[in-house]
Amino acid sequence: MTDVAATSPTSAQSATNWPPGYTNAPVVMLVDDETNVLNALRRLLRPVGYTVLTANGGAEALSLLAAQEVDLLVSDMRMPEMDGAQLLAQARQRWPDTQRVLLTGYADVTSAVSAINEGGIFRYVSKPWDEHEFLSIIHQALSWRGLQREKLRLEALTFKQNEELKSLNASLEAKVAERTADLQIANQELTLANEKLQKTFFNTVQVMSSLIELRAPQLAGHSRRVADVARRIAEKMGLNSAAIHEVLMAGLLHDIGKIGYGDQLLATPMAKMTAEGLSQARKHPLNGAAALMSLPDMRGVAAVIRSHHERWDGTGFPDGLKGEAIPLGARILALANDYDAVQIGTLSVKKHNSDEAKQYVIEGRSFRYDPAVCDAFSELIGRARAKPVAEIRVNGAQAKPGMVLTRDLFSHEGVLLLAVEHVLDNVLIKQVREYEETNGKALIICVKA
C-alpha cells in the first residue's frame, strides 16, 4: 500500500532546512517491508519539511517512481521478491537522476558492494542508524542532486546563449557585446557550480573515510594522517598533480573495505588475529576496491587501494605482486599506512612512538617497501616543519561569519563536520550551535586569527 506521508512545508522555517537548489519540498521515497521502520523514518523526516512517500516493496516503489518525479530513493537491502540492490539497479537504469541510498546491516557487505556496483548508490547507512547521521546523509544526497540539477540548468543556459550568439548579425556589435557579457557571467556561474560540486565530493570522501572510525576509536584520524603522509611522499618523488590527487584520495579511503568488520576484529591488532580473523582482514583491500570500481573517476584510486598491502618482496596480499608490478601509488600508500599503524597499535601489539615508527619503516627498505619510496620518506622526516598558521579557538557562540577553519572540525564522536579552509556563514554557525545545544557540550573550532 502506498502512503503519502507528508506534503509541502507548513512554514518558511521548514523551507530553510531544504538543501540548495530546491524551490519546492524535495521528494523522498522510503522503501521497506517493515511498517515500523517506515514509520520511524517518516517521523524522523517530517520536521524537515520534505515530501515523503513510502512503499512496502520494490514493485510499489517502481510504480510510484513511474507516476511522479522523486529526488531521493532510500531502500532497505533485505526485502522479499525484490531486494534493495535489484530495486536500486532498476531505478538507476530508468531514473538515473534520482539519488539512491541503501539501508543495510553490517553483515551485508557483499550485498552492499553489489548495490554500489549495480545500483550506483550515493551512500549506504548501517542499521541501526544514528538519527543525526541519517539526516546528514539525506541532506548531502539531496544537495548533490540539487547541485547536479543546477549544473544542468547552467549548461543549458550556456548552450542557449551560444546559439543566440550564432544568430546575431555581425554588424550588431553592441548586441554581441551585451550577449558576450551575459555568457561570461553564465560561464562564471558554471565554473563556481563545478568547483562547489568538486569540493562537496571531496568533503563527502572525507566523511566516508570517517565512518569506520565511529566504531573503532583507535582509528580516529588514521585515514587523514595516512593520506597526508602519502601525499607528501608523492610530491617529494615528483609525481604529477593527478597522481598526487589519486594517492591522497586512496589514503582517505584505504580502509573503507573494513566497514563489514565486527567490533572485535576492528579492535584486534593484525599481529594478534586468529587465522579466521586474518583471512577476513586480508579481504578488505578487495572489498574497498570493489566498492569504488563502478565510479569511472575512482578506478585509479581503487587500484591503489587494492594493492596497498602488497610488499616489495612479493609476500603481501591480496595478489602477491612484487617490485614494480605494484602500482607506484600503492607502494607509497603501503609505507604511509604502516608508519601510522605501528603508532596506533593496529599493526603490532606494541604501540611505537614516532621515532620507533620511523626506524620500523626504514628497516623495511628493500623487502617491505620500495627503496625509492623509503628514501623519499627518509628525506621528508628530516625536514623542519612548516611554520604553523596563526589561529584562535572559539565555540559556536563565539563563531562569526567569515571565519576560516585552520583544521578539520570533528564531532565529539570523531565524525567530520566541516573540512579545513571552510568559511563559516550564518547557516553553518546556526547548525553548529544547534549541534552543541543538542549534545550539551561546546565544540572547539580552530579558525585563522
Inform me whether the pLDDT recorded for 304 exceeds 60: yes
Instruction: Note the pLDDT of residue 214.
Output: 63
By residue range, what is the domain housing residue 248?
A: 216-381
In this structure, the answer to whether residues 348 and 372 fall within a common structural domain is: yes
Q: Measured in whole angstroms, how far is the alpha carbon of residue 213 from the centre of its chain?
A: 13
- Residue partners of 180: CB distance under 8 A and separation at least 6: 165
Site of grid cell 533485505 = 78
Give 352-379 pLDDT, tens digit per residue: 888 888 888 888 888 889 999 999 999 8
Q: What is the mean pLDDT of residues 277-299?
A: 81
Same domain, 276 and 305: yes
Q: What's the half-sphere exposure (Cβ side, CA atoms, 13 Å) at 431?
A: 16
For residues 336 and 221, membership in a common domain is answered with: yes
| Cell (9 digits) for 141 | 544526497
Domain boundary among 328, 360, 381: 381
One domain, residues 23 and 96 = yes
Q: Residue 356: how many CB atoms within 10 A of its CB?
A: 13
Select from 122, 139, 156 the last residue of a domain.
139
Q: 73-82, 130-139, 226-235, 406-415 — which is least confidently predicted?
A: 406-415
Lowest mean pLDDT among 150-154, 213-217, 221-225, 390-394: 213-217
Do 221 and 354 fall into the same domain?
A: yes
Residues 159 and 107 in one domain: no
pLDDT of 427 reads 85
Number of domains in the chain: 4
Tell me, yes or no, whether 160 and 286 share the same domain.
no
Cβ atoms of residues 48 and 135 within 8 Å: yes
Q: Mean of the pLDDT values across residues 147-155? A: 79
Q: Report the range out of 227-236, 279-288, 309-318, 399-408 with the highest average pLDDT.
A: 227-236
Averaged pLDDT for residues 286-306: 85
Residues 367 and 242 in one domain: yes
Residue 348 has pLDDT above 80, yes or no: no
Selected residue with higher pLDDT from 411 and 232: 232
Distance CA 74, CA 151 (A): 24
The amino acid that residue 272 corresponds to is: K
Give me the residues paired with residue 404 across strands: 423
218-243 mean pLDDT: 88
Question: Is 420 inside any structural domain?
Answer: yes
The pLDDT of residue 84 is above 70: yes
Contacts of 345 (CB under 8 A, 6+ apart): 218, 269, 351
CB neighbours of residue 304 within 10 Å = 30
Residues 161 and 228 in one domain: no
Q: Are the C-beta atoms of residues 27 and 9 closer than 8 Å to each other?
A: no
Q: How far is CA 6 from CA 31, 74, 135, 166, in A?
A: 15, 16, 16, 47
Contact present, 117 and 90 (Cβ < 8 Å)? no
Angle at 231 between CA 207 and CA 210, to 5 degrees: 15
pLDDT, residue 202, reads: 54
- Whether the Cβ atoms of residue 357 and residue 343 lie closer than 8 Å to each other: yes
- Cα(42)–Cα(131) distance, integer angstroms: 12
Is the pLDDT confidence value at 6 over 50?
no
Residues 45 and 133 in one domain: yes
| Same-domain check for residues 266 and 325 | yes
Residues 242 and 164 in one domain: no
- pLDDT higher than threshold 90 for residue 64: yes
Give me the DSSP letters along 191-226: HHHHHHHHHHHHHHHHHHHHHGGGT-GGGTTHHHHH
Q: What is the pLDDT of residue 11?
A: 41
Report pLDDT for 198.
Answer: 55
Mean pLDDT over each residue of the chain, to the nearest integer: 80
